Amino acid sequence: MIRAYKFLMRPTMGQTIALGEMLRDHCSLYNGALQERRDAYRHASKTSIKYGMQSGQLKDIRSFDPERQGRWSFSSQQATLRRLDKAFAAFFRRIKSGETPGYPRFRGVNWFDTVDFPKDGDGCRWDSTPHDPVTRVRLQGIGHVRVHRHRAVEGRVKTISVKREVRHWYVVLACDDVPAEPLPATGAVVGIDLGIASFLTTSDGEHVPSPRHGKAAAAKLEAAQQALSRFPRRKALNRTANHERAVQKVAALHGKVRRQRLDHAHKTALALVRDHDLIAHEDLKIRNMVRTAAPRPDPDQPGVFLPNGAAAKTGLNRSISDAGWGVFLAILTSKAESAGRTVIAVDPRNTSRQCPECGHTAKENRTTQGKFHCVACGHTAHADVVGATNVLRAGLVRYNANTA
């Protein structure tokens, strides 16, 4: 089993400066490789440059610029070029599938926040001072950086990444061959229905309230963004001290909301995994659910548009994003795999419109957001509980079909 570990780094002032320079130089390499691809394709010959060609130029680049590009790990620079190659591969894949292409963009220094090391021991070394009670990671060009290891690392360290989040630095370990930690069987099964009014509702009738972390921080975030908007848009090197503080404040507020959302998702998922052997949930296409409402042109008046409910859709999109369904489902799946539990995703269509008693399906069964009343048999219940019950039944059918 593969598992990722994320630890806070505590670099010295000199190491912090060196880490920033490492990100800057990798960003410069990324942008230079992107410019080379653009120029080659714009040439009359329409030359297509691949990763292998650009990787072969690294030796000359490092010898030409030993004080910057020559300082860092060769493998980490190859990983940066692979990241660009993956961006182009995704670009061409979206073109073939008819999606919005999204041509790879140049990255600013503040938008390039991660450097990858493909192998432990090649340009980096985890737990580089095993004789020392303090855990450290050694990075080429930077040295031994102190790490706050708050938990034990299991398995074999495969790759190492260094990431900057606002003013903090983190090391992320991707470990392979991590042993599973199965929990004792409980014999319980549950279906969950994700929502806005309640974060989730179980088939047992339990409602987990939605924390709405983004909404709680909206006032502070609005004030911080208004203060930031008073400064002209400038590059990081040209900002004043007050401008930089305003930028850091907005980033810190967003980071706090993100950590609160992750904390709630971890605790909720852990409670479900501990108490149930099988967990069924809706297979939601969240990206499609948060799309902007399409405009409605007036056929009688060219250039005029009819009301399309964009304001209400925007509020719904904001609530869905604030709930963090995608993050929660990913965490739930990971914890279930580690604990030996089963998670099943089922088709969400009509789960809240089908009566669990008689099976009648109709739009009129759900009279309001929270009330369900079957027009055929008169069964009344909470709409979210009905949805979770139907999700559990569909999940059990699918589980029995797969294990038969």
Q: Can you spell out the DSSP letters for 164-192?
A: EETTEEEEEEEEESPPP-PPPP---EEEE
Predicted confidence (pLDDT) per residue in 77-89, tens digit:
999 999 999 999 9
Instruction: Work out the average pLDDT over 123-141.
Output: 94
Identify the burial level of 267 via C-beta atoms within 10 angstroms of its C-beta, where 0-12 means exposed, 13-18 middle and 19 or more buried.
exposed
Predicted confidence (pLDDT) per residue in 319-341, tens digit:
999 999 999 999 999 999 999 99
pLDDT given at position 369: 81
Residue 301 pLDDT grade (very low, low, confident, very high; cuts 50, 70, 90): confident
Residue 100 pLDDT grade (very low, low, confident, very high; cuts 50, 70, 90): confident
Average pLDDT, rounded, for the chain = 93
Identify the burial level of 141 via C-beta atoms within 10 angstroms of its C-beta, where 0-12 means exposed, 13-18 middle and 19 or more buried.
middle
pLDDT given at position 44: 83
For 230, the token pair is 């008073």
Residues 6+ apart with CB under 8 A from 231: 239, 240, 242, 243, 246
pLDDT given at position 370: 85
> What pTM was computed for the model?
0.87
pLDDT given at position 293: 86
Helix ranges restricted to H, 43-132: 51-56, 58-64, 74-96
Q: Which residue has tokens 């995704």?
A: 90
Residue 19 pLDDT grade (very low, low, confident, very high; cuts 50, 70, 90): very high
For 325, the token pair is 């369904």
Residue 287 pLDDT grade (very low, low, confident, very high; cuts 50, 70, 90): confident
Give the containing element (helix H, strand E) for 161. strand 156-165
For 59, the token pair is 């030796």
pLDDT given at position 70: 95
- Which string of DSSP letters, residue by residue, matches 182-234? PPPP---EEEEEE-SSEEEEETTS-EEE---HHHHTHHHHHHHHHHHHTSPP-
3-class DSSP state for residue 115? Answer: strand
Predicted confidence (pLDDT) per residue in 211-234, tens digit:
999 999 999 999 999 999 999 988
Q: Is the pLDDT of residue 241 over 80?
A: yes
Residue 159 pLDDT grade (very low, low, confident, very high; cuts 50, 70, 90): very high
pLDDT given at position 225: 96
pLDDT given at position 133: 92
Instruction: Work out the average pLDDT over 277-281.
Output: 96
Closest CA to 216 of 289, 290, 311, 319: 319
Instruction: Work out the average pLDDT over 104-112.
Output: 90
- Which string of DSSP letters, residue by residue, matches 342-387? EEEEE--TTTTTB-TTT--B-GGGB-SSSEEE-TTT--EEEHHHHH
